[in-house]
Chains A and B, each alone.
Chain A
Amino acid sequence: MAQSLEERVRAMPRWLRDLVADWSSDQQTFKVNWGKAMMWFFIVSDMFVFGAFLSAYAAARLGATLPWPDPAKVFALHIGESEIPLLLIAIMTVVLISSSGTMAIAVKYGYERNRAKAALFLALTALLGLTFVGMQAFEWTKLIREGFRPWTNPLGAPQFGSSFFMITGFHGLHVTAGVIYLITIASQVLRGAYEKIGYQRVEIAGLYWHFVDLVWVFIFAFFYLF
């Protein structure tokens, strides 16, 4: 006598049982609100965009005929007599990663319906993001003064400048868009727009922000450290 469907489901390990229950249910596959589900799908798609950018960069770097400049030298800061490699980038990275922390705190206060603090930490996150973009602008200016252009650079392969400006520029656009997004959400929180519909939108904005931070970690690792 074959097992009934119910018995077979009961015999499954718990995680598999939950998965089957979620996927075979009607109405909603994931028990989250629509906006959150969509943000996740967007993040996966955007991950492919950055994945393609980074793979293209890897291919461009491997195929370049002129020598690839040493990132430790290019991105060094001269302070007094000494040259400290990757100093600015290290600070930028710390700033951006800290902003993920303030974002998480904002989400917590949002769900606790502490409007003032949620808005404060959202604004703080946006401020850290703005700081990041400002430092990036400083870095761009410095490199452009030193003769780096998308089409050429004084230290070797022109693909270095092309990839650098393209990838950090595209990420910087994401951060800038994120700052505007966070300010919008913060003002909504202050206005009390989420008192009735709940504070999921703060968390959704947080998903986007953490994603942008995570992408930076990859850019940092593959562009600056290698």
Chain B
Amino acid sequence: MHDHHESFWTKYIFSQDHKVIAIQYTITALLVGLFGLVLSWLLRVQLGFPGKFSFLNPGSYYQMLTQHGMIMIVYLLTAILLGGFGNYLIPLMIGARDMAFPFLNMLSYWVYLLSVLVLMAAFLVPGGPTGAGWTLYPPLSALPNAAPGSGWGIKLMLISLVIFIAAATMGGLNYVTTVLQCRTKGMTLMRMPLSVWGIFIASVMALFAFPALFVGGVMLLFDNLLGTSFFIPAVTLFGQQLPREGGNPLLFQHLFWYFGHPEVYIVILPAMGIASELIATHSRKPIFGYKAMVVALAAIAIIGFLVWAHHMFVSGMNPYFGFFFAVSTLIIAIPSAVKVYNWLLTLWRGNIRFNTPMLFGIGWISTFIIGGLTGLPLGNVIADVPLHDTYFVVGHFHLVMGVAALMAIFGGIYHWFPKITGRMFNERLGKLHFLVTFVGAYMIFFPMFLLGILGVPRRYFDFEALQYLPPQTHGLNIVITVAALIVGAAQLLFLGNLIWSAVRGPRAAANPWHATTLEWQTPTTPPPHGNWGAETPTVYRWAYDYSVPGAERDFIPQNVPLTPTVPMGVSAR
């Protein structure tokens, strides 16, 4: 297809190949994430050893806290899961040669990079980046001199978000169209691997959720730039009545969380899909309840749009609304539990291979369960009121959305590394990376549940003035900080392993995990531009024909025709 000569620039920089774009997205997101990690170190050093170091003052603490949250959720997790994994996996897993619109795809990456540059520029402007909290609640984020970085910082933040939304929309349109319209012969929707399902449904959610952030962001930008009063009620600032009035700050919260909660699932659904791949492949068993898995993904996506106000229980609302949002929130536990049971039943009596990707797959189940279960009390109005704005919330969302998603991301990167680079990573380093990250993550976030129950408030620079806190809370904070420093440093093992193995690692076989899905059946590894050589593959069976009774080997790739000697697995009929 693409046999014309390509220069270095069109092949690696301004490439329209989905695989190159995926790698660009992944590397950019990982670098931004590393930056966010260093910010969290600064925060933890302050909390663990208050007064001993002077990296931060209360104002810059807020700024770093805000930037850490925004960077991790939007510019790392969303970008790497949709832009990185979505780009790499969708065309390969559905047997397409590329995305439906390769040029738009390339544009999506460069616009994303622009949004990152604008985000970073905020660190260089007078006043620094915004410190209004990652949720950017007005009036704090809308008034001049109210929060640190309220001049240039907040404007650049909002502009960066609007640019990011443009990039995410270009990507999302591409992913949705590609999955629906560009599948190869025989690849019906219900034969798609769950990774593709997760990324697809998350992309649809992104197309519906980001508009609300876009509108909220534009209005907040107008409040900052033009002096409108969309979100500014009558305010007295430093004893002076401001000339602006009549705005509604709660409106921003609604717009923000109408995006913000689906955003959680935009991150989690692709992670669920990737985890399903890891667990089925490395336990050599068909995924348990494939249809239920797909239905659960769709159910989470739909109900996920009806729960946003559970973030606002303490903002004040009609009790009946609180009741509705608590019920819808708790209902989401059902499809989530279906998925957890199905992963556990996939593992059950499987021929489990405890390699690095599988360890991260199991780590995903563990952190998703603990993080998810601690979400139940927060979904209840009564329990949320005392727990809100304590470290309980911090522990909950970091475990379920941060650590669990990262477990799937790490596992996914290790899992597909041999296909991406054509080389194997170092297994021993990978296991060490898992061990430190997994144990360390629990040491960081589990004590936070205790701190939260003891009433330690989140977003505080120090707790000196809070006489009611028992002194043990300080001890726990030291433990958390030390663990955070170690876990953060351990990520260098991961990066070092990737870089070293990409250059020096032993050559990988085309299908080292003996997996069934199409990306492992490419004629060459790594796959060239166009993926499939002369002809795209034809699909004859579902994605999880592992350990089929009577079959010669314990896996049958999707492009192997059905014959009496290679039947289809029972659970696929």
Identify the A interface with B (CB < 8 A): 23-30, 34, 37-38, 41-42, 44-46, 48-49, 51-53, 56, 59-60, 63-66, 150-151, 157-159, 161-162, 166, 170
Are A150 and B177 in contact, CB atoms less than 8 angstroms apart?
no
Are A26 and B228 CB-contacts (below 8 A) given A56-B255, A63-B247, A166-B222?
A: no
Are A159 and B247 in contact, CB atoms less than 8 angstroms apart?
yes
- The stretch from B185-193, B333-341, B382-390, B480-488 touching chain A is B185-193
The interface bits of chain B over 199-241 (1 if a CB of A lies within 8 angstroms of the residue's CB, else 0) are 0000000011011101110110010001111100010000000
Nearest residue (CB) in B for A45 is B207
Complex partner residue of A158 from B184, B185, B246, CB under 8 angstroms: B246
> At the interface, yes or no: B111 with Cβ under 8 Å from chain A?
no
> At the interface, yes or no: B539 with Cβ under 8 Å from chain A?
yes
With A and B bound together, what is the CA distance between A51 and B207 in angstroms?
A: 13
Given contacts A44-B208, A45-B211, A65-B246, 15 further A-B contacts (CB under 8 A): A24-B190, A26-B539, A28-B181, A38-B176, A45-B172, A45-B207, A45-B210, A49-B215, A56-B215, A63-B246, A63-B247, A151-B229, A157-B246, A159-B230, A166-B228
With A and B bound together, what is the CA distance between A175 and B176 in angstroms?
A: 26
CB distance from A7 to the nearest CB of B (A): 17
B-chain residues with CB within 8 Å of residue A24 when the two chains form the complex: 188-190
B-chain residues with CB within 8 Å of residue A41 when the two chains form the complex: 173, 176-177, 207
Identify the B interface with A (CB < 8 A): 100-101, 169, 172-174, 176-177, 180-191, 207-208, 210-212, 214-216, 218-219, 222, 226-230, 234, 244-248, 251, 254-255, 258, 539
Are A64 and B246 CB-contacts (below 8 A) given A34-B100, A162-B230?
A: yes
A-chain residues with CB within 8 Å of residue B258 when the two chains form the complex: 52
B-chain residues with CB within 8 Å of residue A49 when the two chains form the complex: 211, 214-215
With A and B bound together, what is the CA distance between A37 and B244 in angstroms?
A: 45
Are A26 and B187 CB-contacts (below 8 A) given A56-B255, A150-B226?
A: yes
CB distance from A38 to the nearest CB of B (A): 5
Complex partner residue of A29 from B189, B210, B212, B219, CB under 8 angstroms: B189
Are A151 and B226 in contact, CB atoms less than 8 angstroms apart?
yes
Complex partner residue of A38 from B101, B191, B212, B245, CB under 8 angstroms: B101
Are A26 and B173 CB-contacts (below 8 A) given A48-B211, A162-B222?
A: no
Between A and B, 19 residue pairs with Cβ closer than 8 Å are A24-B188, A25-B188, A26-B185, A26-B188, A29-B189, A34-B100, A38-B173, A38-B176, A45-B173, A45-B210, A49-B211, A52-B215, A56-B216, A56-B251, A59-B248, A60-B251, A150-B222, A158-B245, A159-B247
With A and B bound together, what is the CA distance between A66 and B174 in angstroms?
A: 45
Nearest 9 interchain pairs by C-beta: A48-B211, A162-B228, A52-B215, A63-B248, A151-B227, A45-B207, A49-B211, A65-B246, A29-B180
A-chain residues with CB within 8 Å of residue B184 when the two chains form the complex: 26-27
A-chain residues with CB within 8 Å of residue B180 when the two chains form the complex: 28-30, 37
With A and B bound together, what is the CA distance between A27 and B215 in angstroms?
A: 35
Query: Secondary structure of the A side of the interface?
Result: helix
Are B183 and A26 in contact, CB atoms less than 8 angstroms apart?
yes
With A and B bound together, what is the CA distance between A170 and B287 in angstroms?
A: 47
With A and B bound together, what is the CA distance between A56 and B255 in angstroms?
A: 8
B-chain residues with CB within 8 Å of residue A53 when the two chains form the complex: 215
Are A162 and B229 in contact, CB atoms less than 8 angstroms apart?
yes
CB distance from B128 to the nearest CB of A (A): 26
Are B246 and A66 in contact, CB atoms less than 8 angstroms apart?
yes
CB distance from A174 to the nearest CB of B (A): 14
Nearest residue (CB) in A for B229 is A158
CB distance from B517 to the nearest CB of A (A): 16
CB distance from B137 to the nearest CB of A (A): 16
Are B255 and A26 in contact, CB atoms less than 8 angstroms apart?
no
